[in-house]
Amino acid sequence: MTNRRHLVIPGLIVAVLSLIWDLLVALVLHIPPGYATTTAADQTVTSQVFAIIAGDIGMAVVAYGLYFAILFSRQGRTAEPQAGVRAPSNVPLQVGWISSCIVLVMFAAGFGVVELEGQTDPALVVPASALASGAQHHPFIVQVIGQQWQFTYRYPQYGGFESQQLRIPTGRLIQFDVTSLDVTHQFWAYQLGVKLDANQGINNIGYTYVASPTIINVRCGELCGLWHGYMTDVGSQAGEALAPAAFASWLSYAEATYGPETKDLPKFALTYYPAPVVWG
Amino acid sequence: MSQTAIASGRAPVRFSPRRLFLTQNLVTAIIVGIVVGAVAYWIGAQLDTTDNGNGGILLGYLVGSAGFLVTLGFANDVILRLRGRPSASIVKTAESKGWTEFFGISLDHKVVGIQFGVAVVLMFFLAGFQAMMIRTEFLFPNGGGPWPAGQYETLVGLHGLLMMFVATLVIIGAFGNYFIPIMIGAKRMAFPRLESFAFWLVPLGALIMYSTIFAGFGGGFPTGWWLYAPLSVEARIGMDGAIVGFAFIGIAAAIAGINLLTTIFVMRAPGMTWSRMPMFAWAMIAVEFLSALAPPVLACTLMLVGFDRAVQSSFFEAGGGGSGLLYQEMFWFFGHPEVYIFIIPAFGVVLEILPVFTRKPLFGYRLAVAGMLGVSLMSWFVWNHHIFTSSVAPGLRPFFMTATELISIPTGVMFLNMLGTLWKADLRLKLPLLFALAVMFNFLIGGLTGVFLSDVPLNVTLHDSFFVVGHFHYTIVGGEIFALYAASYFWFPKVTGKMLNARIGKWHFWTALIFFNTTFLPMFAAGYLGQVRRSPVYAAELHGLNVWISVNGFLFGLSNLIWLYNIVYSWGFQKERAPVNPWESRSLEWQIPTPIPADNFPRIPTIVSGPYEYGPGTTRPIAEWPDTGQIPTPAPAI
């Protein structure tokens, strides 16, 4: 066979497999975390793009490698001695390979930077349809406090009361202020596409915009001690994003129930330092 | 003087450090270490200003370790010099001391290589057994498995830390120490005493780490292998062993790095130009820059944790003015170069093996060298991708994301080398080549999934999930451990004079490849579906997936037992001797007899051609041998 056929045949195989893979990823597979929020949607779309690119590249390398390994193997051949062909280092091929890699990498980096802005800039987290109302300037703030071994939530815009369930409204920019009372935890709100480390003495801020009501499963993602594995909650006991009317109803209930206890809590602050170190 | 030496007219000289005391051996070293350590613990406990006993424990570990190393003989030369006497010569005798030389200080790099190999492989199987214990927990949902929460966390930490020890040193320590001097035409390492010292830190570090599980109520450690502060500062006394053990391995890696770098730079044979150097040696250069510079950062960081624990210095406690985030930055500044310390030697092994079994020159030799050096350099600039979610300055994230994605360019060069070398080759599908190809396949998956993690928005979903667990097992186990398999099948005949059994080897290959992939590939799905790493609790709908992963993990563990059986059977029971050069390799280590003489070469050869000049028309030997004339290289491929 000529050189060209040795390159075309695996290329055709790759083309067919890639097409199948691309269609699967784009149209069939449900890639988490889904579309409940703008941040989750960005992550889902990014996953699809990266899965398509990575899958196509991976299949190409495997197909060519396997094809060459089988075709040029001397297993099962007759005993005619054959020496390997000395091939020069093909400089145009090397340049082409590296150039292609650079193009792909810069595309991935550029795509990532654009998506990153969409996760961190409030004006981009809020969908375009809500910008006119100035939603990006009026976030709903929830302070997430990590401690061994649960998350609690304070609402500074409503007197600073604290609850053990996360409740947020849909249709508003949500700002999470995450901190820790003790060791490093990690607030992972799965359906929201939000993951923020809770560090001692640091206020870690993240944003999201919830389009429609959803349950929020909350997990701690950072090893934080003995019961780290159990620092997880699922279902509405963990968290919920509620439509405005339902949220207003919950807010009334929460202010009435948890509000009186606020006077026993430390004054609201962005971070809470542990008890001072005692010397001597 | 030995009769052999007298007859040859060459005077043998002492090979091992002189013993200052008749009782300097491993047993006395252990006894002295324990006694001295206990005394130091008592003294430290009296001086301790805290009520948690950390000061005494840390002092006990450190002083006890010093006592062990001094009694073993590492201070002998210093003491001799202080007394005005010459230190031990380092030229080797012709006589072997038998099996006892593996249980003390040896200045023969081949002995140290075997010491490293055996110790690290033992650690690999111990850590692998712990992996089986971890996966047993996952057979039961909701953490209903056999290990209580504290024990599970300690298991995860021990498995992770011990595997870090293995991954850091298995190829550098065993194959690097054994073969690099021979491959570059040197009679020994640049710093043989340091080389042996680096080895003895390894079992010391591992034993100290394991001692934590015997600390009673405070035993074990809850932090995993990252030892994140402030949890590591506040944890109970079992934490001290993990800190000291890990620091010792870091120091061992740094010493090995300095030693190998110096050896390659300074002790190459005449004619061994940079363009004639084997790829494995280039890999050692690329990795030892990392190994010499990154682990000291770890050692310093852990020292600060030790201070926080023992004397409440608050480097990493916010309440005292410190920062837990500072620990994360310092740790990952070491941690990312560390993972390239794992994989670059694997690249070296693969690129060393490929030309031998394709019978053609390595495609893109210079590009491969540039790739490995490029990976080594760029690995210093990407560490933040491990802590994207940790409130680092937002402006830094695009930089680290781009840098992490750019590092895939030099890494991807290896695949071009592979494909180019396979193109129109004359492949001999022997086990070393099969495992080398498996390395490339596994690393392809590991590398591509790394691109997912390098993207900050995606990292939000995937960080600290089982996706990451799958990714690093594909790169480290699928990359480096499979390269270890390849290296073992390739170099076993040179070390032992026996071939690893090919039939058992094929069973090993197929079971390892299949069950490795069926174990770790589904982890990407588990991560996407929200399963958190280091937690035995997972959603009920993921139970079936976890059972599948566990069962296949057990089967992958069994495949490693097949490998172990092959090693023991072939080395211990197989009678047939291997040919001197069974692979018809041009590399220098295959041009000398097996067993390799004590000083490697009677006379240093002069290198006259490269190691990969396979193919038709090959007539130049790799080296000219003084006094004995040329030794012809193997005939061209048949």
Phi, psi of A234, deg, nearest 5: -125, 160
B206-215, B255-264, B341-350: segment of lowest average pLDDT: B206-215
* More confident: A4 or A60: A60
- How many other C-beta atoms lie within 10 A of the C-beta of residue B101? 17
Tens of pLDDT, residues A107-145: 999 999 999 988 888 888 988 888 888 888 889 999 999
Residue B628 pLDDT class (50, 70, 90 cuts)? low
Return the SS3 of A143: strand
Look up residue B522 and give its two tokens.
């589904």
Residue of B nearest to A58 (CA): B444
> In chain A, what residues touch B150 (CB-CB under 8 Å)?
226
Residue of A nearest to B314 (CA): A277
A68-72, B143-147, B290-294 — most confident range: B290-294
**Omega of the bond leading into A156 within 30 degrees of 0 (cis):** no
Tens of pLDDT, residues B395-440: 899 999 999 999 999 999 999 999 999 988 889 999 999 999 999 9
Residue B1 pLDDT class (50, 70, 90 cuts)? very low
* More confident: A80 or A146: A146
Inform me whether the pLDDT recorded for B275 exceeds 50. yes
Which member of B235, B366, B614 has the closest CB to residue A84?
Answer: B614
End-to-end CA distance of chain B: 47
> In chain A, what residues touch B153 (CB-CB under 8 Å)?
223, 225-226, 228
- Work out how many CB contacts closer than 8 A connect A with B: 288
Q: ipTM of this model?
A: 0.93
C-alpha pair distances (Å), B438 with each of A43, A118, B267, B559:
31, 39, 34, 15
- How many other C-beta atoms lie within 10 A of the C-beta of residue B628? 10
Which member of B324, B394, B448 has the closest CB to residue A184?
Answer: B324
* More confident: B48 or A173: A173
Fold of A131-264: Immunoglobulin-like (2.60.40)
Measured between alpha carbons, how far is B231 from B167 in angstroms, rounded to an integer? 25
Rounded (5°) CA angle A228-A230-A232: 100
> In chain B, what residues touch A189 (CB-CB under 8 Å)?
none
CB B291 within 8 A of CB B334: no
Whose CA is closest to B534, among A217, A189, A182, A188? Answer: A188
Where in chain B are all domains bearing CATH 1.20.210.10? 110-572
Domain ranges of chain A: 3-71+103-120, 131-264
- Cross-chain Cβ contact A85/B425 below 8 Å: yes
> In chain A, what residues touch B408 (CB-CB under 8 Å)?
101, 105
| Domain B110-572: homologous superfamily in CATH | Cytochrome c oxidase-like, subunit I domain (1.20.210.10)
Look up residue B433 and give its two tokens.
């080549």
Which member of A50, A57, A226 has the closest CB to residue B455?
Answer: A50
Task: Name which of A7, A61, A180, A216 to mutate to probe chain B: the one with the most chain B Cβ atoms within 10 A of its Cβ.
Answer: A61
Residue of A nearest to B389 (CA): A196
Taken in order A104, A105, A109, A112, the sign of the CA dihedral is positive
For residues B343, B344, B345, B350, the Cα torsion angle rounded to the nearest 10 degrees is 90
